[in-house]
Structures are given as structure tokens and as C-alpha cells.
Amino acid sequence: MNLTKLAMTAAVAAFAVFAATSCGASKKSLHVYNWGDYIDPSIVKQFEKEFNCKVKMDFFDSNESMYAKIKAGGGGYDLIVPSSYYADIMFKQKMVQPLDKSKLPNVANVDPEYLKKAVDSKMEYCVPYLISFTGIGYNKDKVKNFRPSWRMFEDASLKGRCVILNDPREGMGAALRTLGFSLNTVKQDEIDKAVKLLVEWKSNIAKFDVDEAKRGIASGEFWLIQNYNGDMLQAKEENKSVEFVIPEEGGSFSADTLVIPVGAAEPELALSFINFIHSPAISARNMQFTKYLSPNLPAQKLLPEEFRSNPAVFPLPEIWAKCEVIRDLGEANALYSKAWDAVKAAEVR
Amino acid sequence: MKRSTRLPVYATAGTLAFFYLPLLIVLVNSFNKSKYGGEWKGFTFDWYGQLFSDVHIWGAFCNTLLIAVAATIVSTVLGTCAAFALHRYKDKLQFLHYLMIYSPLIVPDILMGMSLLLLFVSLKVKLGLFTIILAHISFCLSYVAMVVLGRLQDFDFAIVEAAYDLGASRWQTYSRVVVPVLAPGIIAGALFAFTLSIDDFVITFFVAGPGSTTLPIYIYSAMKHGSPAIINALSVVFLAMTFALVYISQRLLEDRK
């Protein structure tokens, strides 16, 4: 009877588990689908208190997997935070709903200068959340004669000590900007020239990488890397000699945006959340937690001076004029994949 | 044959180092004050503190355990039955049955994840912990069946007949004779299923519903913006759990002897 008892207990336990998973809450709940570690938890708690609801956060690691899941029907989310070019794709595929601006008074705070470059400049279906820039992170003690230019990758004194991002659009983007072309170009001759320049740089760099580069610059292994501003600010906390600058030729920026998917259970609550995020005090707190920039003008004024005068978070106007957002190019994306393959396959002298 | 060769010793040491050196580095770095683990910046328990106070991580951890326990129990029972049926009964369709049990092992995760998602959506099943458990049962079952099937090859059915001869009922035979003899295989299969369930990312990602984030999903998504050091601490906790589980199961098996 020993085993019978065990079998019965197991069955009861399994049933208990099934039962527990179907418990519901009585308060309204907002389901948010976000990147990991991308919002200040105290902000979420404050929203829960003010609006008397529960916020359930779920996480995804890349736009592609989030898109695949939502497209296949795996919904249930009220608010999603895709990158702007994916918000564009999702809108074209009718996966996100237009926003009722009458419920979003705080989006008037969004910087009109930013909106001029944004993918959805009228904020019809997405509201910008946080922006990040790609630029150069460098060790100011180790790099002699530093110029804020992508050409630093050619500097012979940095041989084997610099890293370019392992991302086709970012790597090609740096080369294209150096040559004065748009990083969204579809002209084959411009792309070919960029490939040639990248192959020249390839002989000087240690490798193409994203995460190892961050680790390397904090530990002192690498002296100059192409990387994102938020990560470089975090690296700076670790290693005081790390600085970040956007090169004078301009770089890329990417924006993550807030969208409400079609079929959301609580669109009203989602709109309240978007409005809440863009209230100046909340936006300012979020910026300080994540170390990324929110294009919310009154919030930027609330930031402490050292944060505001930091060129890593707030690029100077003349640099900003040269920055471009990475756009989805539809079928022309294949040109970049081919170009990147050519760069990776090229033999290093 | 040379008797004085030390090759086996070196080979063993090398293999063990290859497996355990990275884990050792993770363990050491979880106490490292440095966020990125490039240099040693001092000893700290901070990361563990943050780990235990983060509500998302706790939630994900509980979900992961819940799913793993439920999936393990059901898939062990079903997998053992499947192995038994495959081994014991020979009929013309057996080859097909064997293929059905075997195929989840070779189908790529992403295909399984997407197809299960499409199935749940078309059946209008709400995504959540329940759908994750169902998905995990479907592939864990195959692994358990394979492991127990292997164990059954050595099983001598004469003892079953002997039990019947001695007057045991069918249930008594199964519970007092068959299962204890197969126990090492069943437990091994259960452990395998548990490990697969807690590790699974791709399939879980696609069939998870709102509010049912598991630990692997959280870790993957935190890699982009989050702190690598907390992930180290998390990994150490997981490792400790796994080692404890294996130790307990070893003790259980010894007691049976």
C-alpha cells in the first residue's frame, strides 16, 4: 500500500498545482510586455497604488521573438514595448491599435525635435519610451589623441584593442556615416564603399561583439568600443576612466515605444499607463534608473545638472542633427545581410 | 599493454576541469563586487540580497518550480506507462507508436513552441501556467519513456510471473515488484524531466501567458539591459538546487538497496 499512497499523494499534489494556477485576482490587472530590467520598479508600484490595479510584467529578449509570438496569436497583453521599427511593422500588419490622444494629455511633453526624426511622428500608434544612442565608448586614460570620430577604428595604436558591434545595421551604419552616407541607404555603390571601409577596420579591431565588449571596456581589456550609451554609463560606474561620445559624423539611435495591441483587455488602463509614464516627475525617475533618455522635455528639466550636461545621454544639437534612426527597409534588408556576410568573410591582411 | 600510463587520470582531470571550471568562475563572480566580472573588486553578498528582494525573480522562480514539479510528476507516470507498453506488447503498429514517442526528441524546440502556440490559439485555450505545463509534459514524457525503456531491456519478466504464482494481485505485483526494480530508471527519468523543464526557454516563451514568466525567460530578457552579476547569483542558486537534488536521489537509491 506504500506505492498506492504515494501515487495518491502525487495525484493530489498535481491537482493542487493545477488548481493554484487558475486563481484569479479581483482587481483589474494590466499586462505589460517589456524588455528585462527596463523600467523602475518603484514607478510600477506607484501606478498600482494610484490606479488601484495590479501590473503584471512579462519579458521578451528580442523584437523578433516578441513579434513571432504575437503574430501567431499568443496575445493577452495590454501594453507592449517594441523598438520603433517593429512598432511600424506591427501597425502595418494591423497588430496594434491607434491611440486615443484625448486620453494622453502628457504626450504633449514629447520633444517635437525628436518627433521630426521619429518613425511615427504624429504618435498615431506609438509613443516614444526611451531612446538609446550608439557611439564610441573609450578609456580616456589608455587612448592617446582621441578624436570623436568613427575613424578611430583605423588608429594603429589601438590595434587589437577595439571592438565593433556584431550587428549588421550598426556596423555598416558606422562605416556609412563616416563616408557621409545615410545609414538607411539602399544604393548598392554606397553599401559597397562601406563594406570596403569596414574590411579595412576589420584588420585593426579585436573582433565584432556586443556583450564581451561591455565587459572588456569595464575591465580594461578593450580601450575603444562601439556600444550603446546606457551600457557605457553603467560601465563608467564600474571603471571611472570610461567615457562615451557620439562621433562627429553622427551615429544611429534607436527608440523603444509604447504600443497597445489589438484585442487588449484593458486598453483604457494601458492609455492611463502611457500617460503616467510621460508625466515629468515619473519620466525623470525612470531616466535616472535606466540611464536612457526619454524625449520628454519637462522631465529633462527636472534632472540633476550632471546628468543633463552629460553628452552621453544628451547629445549636442549639432551632433543630434547627424543622428539617424535605423529604419526597417523591407526587402532591401537583404542588401545589408549580404554586405555583412561579405565583411565577415573577408580575409584580414 | 603499458600499465604505467597516466592518460586516464589526465583525461578525467581535463574533462572535469572543462565542465566545472566555468561553473567555478560563475560561483566566484557571484560574490564579486564588480558588475561585469572583469576584475575582482571585493567580496559582497549584495547580488544575493538583490536577488531575494526582486519580486519579478521570485515570481519567475516559483512559476518555474511549480511547472517543473507538475510536469515531472505527470510525465514520469505517463512515460513509464509508455515504456512499459512499448516493451511488453508486440503488435504491428508498435513501430509507429515508437516513432510517436521518439519524435519530440528530434523536433527542434522552436518548431514545437510555434506549433503548440498555434494549437492553443486555435483551440482558444487561454495561455498561462497550464499551457506551459502541458507543453513541458509533451516533451518530458518522451525522455522519461526512453530512459525507462533502456532500463526495461534488463528486466526479467520471470519475476512478474513468480509474483503471480505466489498469489499477488495485479496491482500488488506492479507496486511491490515491478516499480521497485525499475525505480532507478524511473527516478533517473524523473530527474531528467525536471532538469529539462526548469531549463526550457524556447518552447516556454511561446506558450507562456501574461503573468507566467519563468526563470529562463527572465534571464534571457534581462541580458540586454540588466545586470550580469545578478544572473551569476541566480545561477549559483540553481546549481545548488541541482546538486542537492542529485544528492538526495543518490541517497534514496542507496537506501533501496
Q: What is the pLDDT of residue A14?
A: 59
**Which pLDDT tens digit goes with each residue over A54-74?**
998 888 878 888 898 898 887
User: Which positions ≥6 away from B216 have C-beta within 8 Å?
Assistant: B64, B198, B199, B200, B201, B204
Q: How many Å apart are CA A107 and CA B88, to the nearest integer?
A: 69
**Which pLDDT tens digit goes with each residue over B125-150?**
888 899 999 999 999 999 999 988 88
CB B70 within 8 A of CB B77: no
Q: Could you say which DSSP state residue B3 is in? A: S
Q: Which residue has the higher pLDDT, A71 or B55?
A: A71
Mean pLDDT over the full length of chain B: 85
Query: CB of A68 within 8 Å of any CB in chain B?
Result: yes
Q: What is the pLDDT of residue A24?
A: 45
The three-class DSSP label of residue B112 is: helix
Q: What is the pLDDT of residue B95?
A: 87
Please choose, from the candidates A321, A326, A286, A325, the residue with its C-alpha nearest in 3D space to the C-alpha of residue A302.
Answer: A286
Tell me whether residues A36 and B222 touch, CB distance under 8 A. Answer: yes
Range in B38-42, B155-159, B238-242 with the lowest mean pLDDT: B38-42
- pTM greater than 0.80 (yes/no): no
Confidence class of residue B26 from pLDDT cuts 50, 70 and 90? confident
Nearest to B210 among A4, A13, A31 (CB): A31
Mean pLDDT of A203-216: 84
Q: What is the pLDDT of residue A230?
A: 79
Q: Which residue of B has its CA nearest to A219?
A: B38
Cell digits of residue B31: 560574490
Q: What is the pLDDT of residue A50?
A: 93
Q: Which residue of B has its CA nearest to A60?
A: B221
Nearest to B74 among A14, A69, A74 (CB): A14
Q: Which residue has the higher pLDDT, B42 or A20?
A: B42
Mean pLDDT of A277-301: 89
The three-class DSSP label of residue B77 is: helix
Mean pLDDT of B209-219: 85
For residue B18, pLDDT beyond 90: yes
- List CB contacts (< 8 A) between A33 and chain B: 210
Q: How many Å apart are CA B189 and CA B183, to the nearest integer?
A: 10
- List CB contacts (< 8 A) between A58 and chain B: 208, 210-213, 217
> Among the residues of A22-83, which ranges form H helices?
41-51, 63-71
B153 alpha carbon, distance to own chain's centre: 23
Range in A20-34, A62-76, A215-229 with the lowest mean pLDDT: A20-34
Q: How many Å apart are CA A173 and CA B102, to the nearest integer?
A: 47
For residue B122, pLDDT beyond 60: yes
Q: How many Å apart are CA B248 and CA B252, to the nearest integer?
A: 6
Mean pLDDT of B95-115: 90
- Reading phi first (left if > 0) and then psi (alpha if -120 to 50, else beta), residue A180 is in left
For residue A231, pLDDT beyond 90: no
Mean pLDDT over the full length of chain A: 85
CA distances from B131 to A17, A32, A33, B57 (A): 13, 19, 18, 21
For residue B113, pLDDT beyond 70: yes
What is the 3-class SS of A126-150, one letter each residue? CEEEEEEEEEEEEECCCCCCCCCCH
Confidence class of residue B232 from pLDDT cuts 50, 70 and 90? confident
Mean pLDDT of B215-226: 76
